[in-house]
Amino acid sequence: MCHKKHNDCHCDNKKHNLVRASAFRANKNTPQLYEAALTPSVKVLFQTEQFDLADEYNPHISTFIPTKDGIYEITAKVSFCPSKSKSDDSSKNKKDNCKCDYCSKNSCKCDYCRKHHPSKDKKRNSSKEGYVASISINVNGDNIDIVNDFLEKARPIGLSVTTILQLQAGDRVQVLFSADANGEILAEASLTNFQAARFPSPM
């Protein structure tokens, strides 16, 4: 077998129709505010390239544009921290100001308090609110793969999506995020990132 590099080799053992390696990874370096009332979904911005073998990722528009047809594995991860609602603050203050009639302690769970104020525990257990968040791989304006999840209020979450797609040269691949709660898309390489790689193939 020939041990020369692919571009220098002209022997019969050279694999024909192979194309240049394609892979990139980009990370988010600036937090991104999200307001549910303004838009149903936003393009997630990944401003920092960790690597880009074929110069196909554009950090200025956070878009992957393959230069060759092929089969690609695409993965994206977004971490989101919802804003604390006013209702959460008011319920907290109400609980802090509520004193047990028996021992005069704040937020007491003694037998007397439970017996004479059973509605407190019931309300506390039934007041869990939640929100829906989703992340999607978008190609040329169409959402191809979407991951949805229902999460508790005021709880930071991480959503990830992985798919394998047949892309054409010039396709525009982006990551979209949506939620029915206001908050912030977190900026840290391990929390919010976008990457893709092409499988070796004659395409």
- List all residues 6 or more positions away from 167 whose beta carbon is below 8 Å from its beta carbon: 66, 69, 70, 71, 72, 139, 173
pLDDT confidence of residue 203: 57
pTM for this prediction = 0.70
User: Over the stretch 170-192, which tens digit does the pLDDT of each residue have?
Assistant: 999 999 999 988 999 999 888 99
User: Over the stretch 29-39, which tens digit does the pLDDT of each residue have?
Assistant: 999 999 988 88
Distance (Å, rounded) from C-alpha 50 to C-alpha 68?
A: 21
Local structure of 124: helix, strand or coil: helix
Local structure of 126: helix, strand or coil: helix
Give domain 23-85+129-198's CATH number out of 2.60.120.40, 3.30.429.10, 3.40.50.620, 2.120.10.30.
2.60.120.40
Distance (Å, rounded) from C-alpha 91 to C-alpha 113?
A: 18
User: Domain extents for the chain?
Assistant: 23-85+129-198, 86-126
Average pLDDT over residues 94-107: 48
